[in-house]
A and B are shown apart, each in its own frame.
Chain A
Amino acid sequence: MKNEPALSSFTLTFAINYGDVTITASVTASVTSFISFSTQSVYSLMARTREALLLLLDVSPSMHSVLPDVEKLCSRLIQKKLIYGKNHEVGVILFGTEETENELTKEVGGYEHVKVLQDIKVVDGHLVQSLKHLPQGTCAGDFLDAIVVGVDMLIKKYGETYKGKKHLCLITDALCPLKDPDVGTKEDQVSTIARQMVAFGLRMKNIVVRASLSGEPHMRVIIENDNLLNIFSKKSSAKTLFVDSTTSLRGARKTRDISPVTIFRGDLELSEKMKIKVWVYKKTGEEKFPTLKKYSDKAPSTDKFATHEVKVDYEYKSVEDPSKVVPPEQRIKGYRYGPQVVPISSAEWEAVKFKPEKSVKLLGFTDASNILRHYYMKDVNLFIAEPGNSRATVAVSALARAMKEMNKVAIVRCVWRQGQQSVVVGVLTPNVSEKINIPDSFYFNVLPFAEDVREFQFPSFSKFPVSWQPNEQQQEAADNLVKMLDLAPSGKGEILQPELTPNPALERFYHHLELKSEHQDAAPPPLDDSLKKITEPDPTLLAESQSAIDAFCGQFVIKENPKLKKSTRRFLREKPSGSDEPNGDGSVSDAQAVNSMESKPVVTVDKIGDLTPIQDFEAMMSRRDCPDWVDKAIEDMKNKIFGLLENSNEGINYPKAVELLVALRKGCILEQEPKQFNDVLEKVCKICRKRNFSTFFDFLMSKKLSLISKSEAVDSDITDDEAGSFIVKSQPKHED
């Protein structure tokens, strides 16, 4: 009974209230043109800062489980408006509530269980409060009723003349059946509303949450409702988004709307003769933390008007004479070139700097496979044909479609604005639209220049030792893991789709901000469950592929390198501050840049033993931690040799002693210590002569062992001839 008057009066209201409001100004011609010109720009300026948003929130029983996330999403939206859009206006309508409270029900009846929680007004802190605890409704929610109430509110408040943006945002699960209209079908009703929305420039975003399909889902209802929402999308600029997790719900509505500004408007030049008019927008841009101001606590606490701001002053002082302050205008820029600093004035630079003309020029097309994905350097731009220019739209469309068909991309050279001092070379990839009302376009990614790429060489995997190569079972386990741990299962929605994933750090910041506004000392809050699913894998998903994970973990043996001493590890064990996870696994590491020095040999030799005297000697000689090692090694060696000779019964130790002498000789040449060796050799010869160890000399002869000469070591005072005749001379004279 109630819907029929509603709809007719609905249209009627428009006629009465907003019928033919036109402003006509009759001033002299010359002045009119001027006025219209300036008002235009004033309007466009205001439009940028003015924005009205009406939230339509479903609080019916089936929504209760996701209400906490709806609350958070909406609070965040309002919080950001409080910071970035202080004069934006917001209203909130709940539906599925026990009570009914809206103007239409008073005027025409009907529209039950739709409650206006807040009329449209400029955002304030109270709104954040009231959104924090939404009342849980008890009745089925009719989203169409809510939309009608919302549209009516917006139209009554703003009419046609308001130049700002007017948005509706509907969050529902669209599970409740809609009431039948008395006249016509639901489809007709939706079409009528959609027409009104277009006429008044209302935009709508519908977020349909289907996180938990509890109980018997009424497929018929779902299909009907989805179909109705679809009509909205087709007939007005409404957009419907289906989300299947609370994490996606939190990212479903951008919490901050940035008015897009073109970074380039002009020709995309295929050649001198063929140009296409395009506009370029930013497609991605990183949302940063708000820039916080520095806080000064100097003002007395009684001062109500204290700004607490801090001014930063810069003073330029001479490095040599810090007492000398140089005024800013007396500075000149110095550019580093190696150790030199080259002073160049701005005027000088102006004369010589690189000054490319503003233009976007095609360099050519190439196979998409020539441009690897990881070469994309920056945030992404979008090239669209000049709006309203149908020929440019067709030209872009033709190129985009041909590129997609042939797997090609275009390489372009861009100078976005006049006076820009650098050029950008980038790649255009096709973005073929599937919606009939959205034109085809290109994505633009910046590519690196030769200077930007560091061509490091890495070993081929195939060249690694066999123990590092996965065997067949391991490979199979890995294949399985990659297949099973699927974030885009067919038939279900994609998990962690970037478009629907909120920034957990920013979410946490705004949450903390709100907590702090209540209690100045509030600690940073932990991440809630929906956000934790971004920083950590979803336990339910892990459970689904538990067998693949177990098999994988069973196949690979991971252990800490036992050769590394604990002290050389640079592991910093840290816990995330937002997580209460037990930090169990021991191999967590967060090493800062580590100098990749080879680890030094562990064993060091500090004396010459009996087992491997030569090796010990060499090791000691080559030790570089202290210069004394060389002397110590030579000294030890000397003692060893004399010891052998002393204790040599019938020359049994001679071969060994000679070996040692040979080693000592080499070592002394290497270390350029000829005197040390020559002294030893002469002493050895003296001993032998005295004791008449004649066989020892034969050994020396056979090894051609002699003094170290000048040509071998510069410090030696023995000539080559002297060295050559040494043995002969030293031999004991038999006639003695």
Chain B
Amino acid sequence: MELDPDDVFRDDDEESDNEFYQEHEATKEYVVYLVDASPKMFSTTCPAEDQTDETHFHIAVSCIAQSLKTQIINRLYDEVAICFFNTRKKKNLQDLNAVFVFNVAEREQLDRPTARFIKEFDHIEESFEKEIGSQYGIVSGSRENSLYNALWVAQGLLRKGSSKTADKRILLFTNEDDPFGSIKGAAKNDMTRTTMQRAKDAQDLGISIELLPLSPPDEEFKVSHFYADMIGLEGDDLALFMPSAGQKLEDMKDQLRKRMFSKRIVKRISFIIANGLSIELNTYALIRPTVPGAITWLDSVTNHPLKTERSFICADTGALMQEPAKRFQPYKGENIKFSVQELSEIKRVSTGHLRLHGFKPLSYLKDYHNLRPSTFVFPSDKEVVGSTCTFIALHRSMLRLKRFAVAFYGNPSNPRLVALVAQDEIVRAGGQVEPPGMHMIYLPYSDDIRPVEELHSDTDAVPRASDDEVKKAAALMKRIDLKDFSVCQFANPSLQRHYAVLQALALEEDDMPEIKDETVPDEEGMARPGVVKAIEEFKLSVYGDNYDEEGDVKVSEASRKRKAATENAAKECANYDWADLADKGKLKEMTVQELKLYLMAHNLSTTGRKETLISRILTHMGK
């Protein structure tokens, strides 16, 4: 329902194909955040950046808050519930002990997040002790099993919807690797068994349970104690699961955040290598511009939503008609008609696969060989066994030989030549920074590349920087060096602003929040004496000491004439008493050219009809 012509965020020329940019809307997700609220979550802390300690509970809650905010922007139709366990009070449909489902008014327990939900959850820690309370739910001597109850409640929450149309997930945050550690003997086995069965039940219903373990700085969260069985980790996976103990808090947060997203495959494609040998690849959209959601038109009187109805009217007869099945292009004095089928047929120049052409050195991929965001590809053995092995071999060879693959991607809506660039895995302390795989870069065709460099070239040699000037520039670069720059370290200020305003209005707050624009230059850093000096030296070397902003420009014929005209107009203009003419209403009697003298002398626009010119003059005079 996007019929708004003046969508503020879209660039003038950007008519993105919907399929390409909105592919992630395919499925929705139901998530239950299951947060351990035992006293241990409050007593265990991690040192944060600013020297204060943060509790595990705080980390979990802030990760969820963060994710809710992203979700309300990005994934409109996903539904969430937040459920604490090991609580003093209980609140859940089954009325089980030690489980508390957090919610706000006018919202179902599993529902899309609302502004109020996010806002109140932001303040959950302040009211937690009073409203919900923390208490161990599994103690020896009692048969209570809060983890079991929590899983049951979560499963109950996820009852809605079919697992075919929605991804159902339980994300479990805890720092207790051995939940039944305090129980001894048969009771322990029993509790373990029943809890496992509960988890299995949920999994059989198509619900995936994911563990987000929090571990104290010097202790390792041992998945093998209990959780490995529950979430089905074996062998290598087990070792992989906890990348490193004792990592920094920031890294842990980072990891949690990454794990909270589920991967969505955009498409499965087969990559035809040669001789009929083809492997299976999944494509993922790792980078896509986030834009504010579509607008909905409302009736300004009632604030009720409006639906837009399109009607097609024949321009010749005025008759109302169905949506026409044909399009036409005037050509050679005729209207050439195309049916919609014919048009899509034309675009299908190849099967929807990726067909390898060959390989080129990476230096052949120029910085201007780009049109749209890249797509990530990762192999899969799900349908074609042997795909991963083949892919890994090619991936390694391409990295080692510094080559990229050229392939034709016969996407039916926009078939293109693509470059497949192998990316090695990059792992930093906080885990994976760049996943291993290949990035598909959409290449331009000859008509998409414009020779703009040559636009202003003539036969004369153009000035070039001397070695000394280059040296000064290099010195400058060393001074203003962004050492740890990482792509995407900035939040989009206009998007942040957009949602902050929306949130404030949705909650009917009066104060408009101030959003920090992270993209402005670092004034302080730029003012450091070393930097200032380096800039001064560079400026002196390229501009010389008698630099004058405009002085150097070879003034073009046109602008010289324009300047002369303005000066002349200013002179001529002085011959009239404009205020007097205006007061007496005599401007009407003057010629357009006379009027323009005034406008030119005052640097105003000279376009438009005579009335427009007069009113512009009057406005300028303040009359």
Contacts and interface: CB of A to CB of B under 8 A. Distances in A.
Contacts of A164: none
A349 B326 CA distance: 40
Contacts, number: 798
Interface residues of A, number: 252
B304 A239 contact: no
Which size bracket describes the interface of B in this complex?
Answer: 35 or more
B491 A451 contact: yes
A445 B450 CA distance: 15
Contact of B258 (A310, A317, A448, A456): A456
Given A374-B421, A482-B394, A590-B269, A333 B295 contact: yes
B160 interface: no
B360 A494 contact: yes
B543 A316 contact: no
Interface string A339-377: 111111100010011101000011111100011111111
B554 interface: yes
A108 interface: no
Contacts of B521: 271, 361-364, 413
A485 B358 contact: yes
A388 B441 CA distance: 36
A577 B324 contact: no
A498 B369 contact: yes
Contacts of B261: 454-456
A467 to B, nearest CB: 7
Q: In the complex, which of the residues B395, B445, B554 has the most CB atoms of chain A within 10 Å of its own CB atom?
A: B445
Interface in A231-262: 234-237, 239, 251-252, 254-256, 258, 260
B275 interface: yes
B429 interface: no
Chain A to chain B: the 7 pairs with minimum beta-carbon distance, closest first? A398-B465, A292-B327, A374-B439, A125-B332, A402-B473, A251-B446, A33-B565
13 contacts: A33-B568, A34-B565, A293-B327, A311-B315, A326-B299, A330-B301, A376-B441, A390-B552, A411-B482, A494-B360, A496-B357, A577-B346, A588-B351
Interface in B269-319: 269-270, 272-280, 284-290, 292-317, 319
Contacts of A509: 346
Contact of B415 (A488, A505, A512): A505
Given A624-B201, A670-B194, A366 B485 contact: yes
Interface in A390-410: 390-395, 397-399, 401-403, 405-406, 408
Contacts of B117: 338
A260 B450 contact: yes
B562 interface: yes
B394 A450 contact: no
B574 interface: no
A711 B194 CA distance: 14
Contacts of B279: 558
B312 A310 contact: yes
A340 B506 contact: yes
Interface in A266-307: 270-274, 277, 281-290, 292-299, 303, 306-307
A439 interface: yes
B359 interface: yes
Contact of A536 (B355, B385, B554): B355
A281 B73 contact: no
Contacts of A295: 324, 326-328, 335, 337
Contact of B201 (A254, A342, A622): A622
Interface in B1-27: 3-4, 8-9, 13, 15, 23, 26-27
A284 B284 contact: no
A406 B463 CA distance: 21
A391 B319 CA distance: 64
Contacts of B512: 352
B554 to A, nearest CB: 4
A184 interface: no
Interface in A548-579: 549-550, 552-553, 556-561, 564, 569-571, 574-579
Interface stretch (B108-116, B132-140, B175-183, B245-253): B108-116
Contact of B465 (A331, A401, A478): A401
Nearest to A373: B421
Contact of B358 (A353, A495, A527, A590): A495
Interface stretch (A5-13, A88-96, A591-599): A591-599
Contacts of B317: 296, 298-299
Contacts of A34: 565, 593, 596
B112 A338 contact: yes
A283 B368 contact: yes
B508 to A, nearest CB: 10
Contacts of A289: 343
Given A362-B521, A588-B278, A666-B193, A376 B4 contact: no
A670 B194 CA distance: 6
Contacts of B193: 666
A212 interface: no
Given A517-B331, A541-B358, A596 B265 contact: yes
Interface stretch (B42-50, B402-410, B578-586): B402-410
Contacts of A405: 470, 474
Interface string B368-388: 111111101010011111111
B397 A390 contact: no
